[in-house]
C-alpha cells in the first residue's frame, strides 16, 4: 500500500513525504525535544516553531488557556532565531534523517526574504512554510495574510531567493481565504497550509480581566475542524497546488475527511500536545482504512469528495 505523497510537484527539488502525517508548527518545537517522547521517524514531516531573523522572547504569561473543545495560545514567536537554527538544528535534522520544514515569520517583506536567503543551501531543511497568519504578534504576522496583494508580494519575493519548496500558511481570519489562496498560488507558492489559529479570547472572571497576558490568542483544537474542512474543500476547487490541512485533527477519521476534501497531507497540532501517540495512531488508522476499502494508494482518495460533489 502506498501512503507516500508529493507536496511540491511544481518545484525542482520536490517534497515527497513517506506518509501524509505532519506535526504542526509550534507544537513540536525543533524536533530534537521529542526524542524519547515519540518516534521521530514515524511522521512524514515536522514543521518547526515559527522562526524570525533575531531570536524572539514571545508574549507575557499566561500564554495558554483551555476553552470548550479547544485551546487558546498566545505564545507569540518565541524562537531561537534563524542563525541558530541553521548552525545548531539543521545539522542535527540532517544527521537524524528527519524531514523538517521551517516555518518563517517576519515584521516586513525584507525580513521574510532575508530569512529565506539565509536558509538557501542549508542541508537538513526540506522546505519553507511562510507564516503570514500568526495572530499573536504585534507587528507582521496575520496582517500579511489578510490582503491578497500583500500575501502575493511576500510569496513572490521569497520565491525569488529560494529553491526550496515554498508552502504558504493561510489564516482563517481573511475575508476571503479563496482570494488569498488564488493570489499566493499565482505568485509561486508550491503548496498551501490551511489553516492557522483563529483569533479568540477568554476572561478570568475572578480577576475581572482578560485571561491571557496578550489579551487575545489563537484558537486551535477540535473546535477548528469544521472551519478548516470547509476552507480546504473550497480551496481545493480553486487551485491546482497540493493542500496541507491543519485544524483540529485528532483521529484517522478526521484526517481522512480532510484528504477526501482535497488535502494531500495533514498536520496535527493541539492533539499532539494532548497525547504524543496520536500522530502514530492516526497513521495506523489511515492505513487500516485504505486496506479495508481496498485502496492501493492514498493518492486515490485525495479530493474524492470534491470530485463526487461536482
Minimum distance of ligand FMN from residue 2's CB (angstroms):
25
What sections of 134-200 are H helices per DSSP? Answer: 148-161, 177-186
The CA angle 59-65-71, to the nearest 5 degrees, is 110
Kindly tell me which of 224 and 290 has the beta carbon lying closer to ligand FMN. 224
Q: Give dist(CA 268, CA 266) in Å, integer.
A: 7
State which H helix or E strand residue 88 sits in.
Answer: none
Kindly tell me which of 22 and 40 has the beta carbon lying closer to ligand FMN. 22
Q: Give dist(CA 277, CA 161) in Å, integer.
A: 38
Q: Give dist(CA 116, CA 131) in Å, integer.
A: 12
Is 134 annotated in the active site?
A: yes
Minimum distance of ligand FMN from residue 261's CB (angstroms):
15
Q: Are strands 198-201 and 216-220 parallel, antiparallel or unpaired?
A: antiparallel
Q: Residues, the chain, total?
A: 310
User: Of 48, 134, 160, 246, which residue is the catalytic one?
Assistant: 134
3-state SS assignment for residue 69: coil
Q: Give dist(CA 55, CA 57) in Å, integer.
A: 7
- Shortest-Cβ-distance residue relative to ligand FMN: 26
CB 295 within 8 A of CB 287: no
3-state SS assignment for residue 127: strand
List interacting residues with ligand FMN (CB under 6 A): 24-27, 49-50, 73, 75, 103, 131, 134, 169, 196-197, 220-221, 224, 246-249, 268-271
Minimum distance of ligand FMN from residue 199's CB (angstroms):
12
Question: What number of other Cβ atoms are within 10 A of residue 157's Cβ?
Answer: 16
The residues assigned a catalytic role are 134
Amino acid at each position: 500500500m502506498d501512503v507516500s505523497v508529493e507536496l511540491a510537484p511544481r518545484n525542482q527539488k520536490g517534497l515527497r513525504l513517506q506518509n501524509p502525517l505532519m506535526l504542526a508548527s509550534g507544537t513540536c518545537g525543533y524536533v530534537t525535544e521529542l526524542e524519547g517522547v515519540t518516534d521521530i521517524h514515524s511522521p512524514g514531516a515536522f514543521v518547526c516553531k515559527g522562526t524570525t531573523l533575531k531570536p524572539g522572547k514571545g508574549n507575557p504569561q499566561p500564554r495558554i488557556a483551555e476553552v470548550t473543545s479547544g485551546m487558546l495560545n498566545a505564545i507569540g514567536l518565541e524562537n531561537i532565531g534563524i542563525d541558530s537554527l541553521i548552525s545548531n538544528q539543521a545539522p542535527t535534522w540532517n544527521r537524524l534523517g528527519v524531514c523538517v520544514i521551517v516555518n518563517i515569520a517576519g515584521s516586513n517583506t525584507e525580513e521574510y526574504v532575508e530569512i529565506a536567503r539565509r536558509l538557501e543551501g542549508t542541508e537538513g531543511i526540506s522546505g519553507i512554510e511562510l507564516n503570514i497568519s500568526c495572530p499573536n504578534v504585534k507587528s507582521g504576522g496575520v496582517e500579511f495574510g489578510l490582503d491578497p496583494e500583500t500575501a502575493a508580494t511576500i510569496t513572490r519575493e521569497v520565491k525569488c531567493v529560494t529553491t526550496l519548496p515554498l508552502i504558504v500558511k493561510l489564516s482563517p481570519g481573511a475575508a476571503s481565504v479563496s482570494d488569498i489562496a488564488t493570489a499566493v498560488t499565482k505568485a509561486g507558492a508550491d503548496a498551501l497550509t490551511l489553516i492557522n489559529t483563529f483569533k479568540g479570547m477568554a476572561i478570568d472572571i475572578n480577576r475581572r480581566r482578560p485571561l491571557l497576558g496578550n489579551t487575545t490568542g489563537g484558537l486551535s483544537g477540535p473546535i477548528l475542524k469544521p472551519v478548516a474542512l470547509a476552507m480546504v474543500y473550497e480551496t481545493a476547487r480553486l487551485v491546482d497546488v497540493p493542500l496541507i490541512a491543519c485544524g483540529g485533527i485528532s483521529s484517522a477519521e478526521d484526517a481522512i475527511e480532510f484528504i477526501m476534501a482535497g488535502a494531500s497531507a495533514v498536520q496535527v497540532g493541539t492533539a499532539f500536545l494532548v497525547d504524543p501517540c496520536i500522530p502514530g495512531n492516526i497513521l495506523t488508522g489511515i492505513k487500516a482504512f485504505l486496506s479495508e476499502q481496498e485502496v492501493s494508494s492514498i493518492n486515490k482518495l485525495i479530493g474524492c469528495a470534491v470530485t463526487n460533489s461536482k
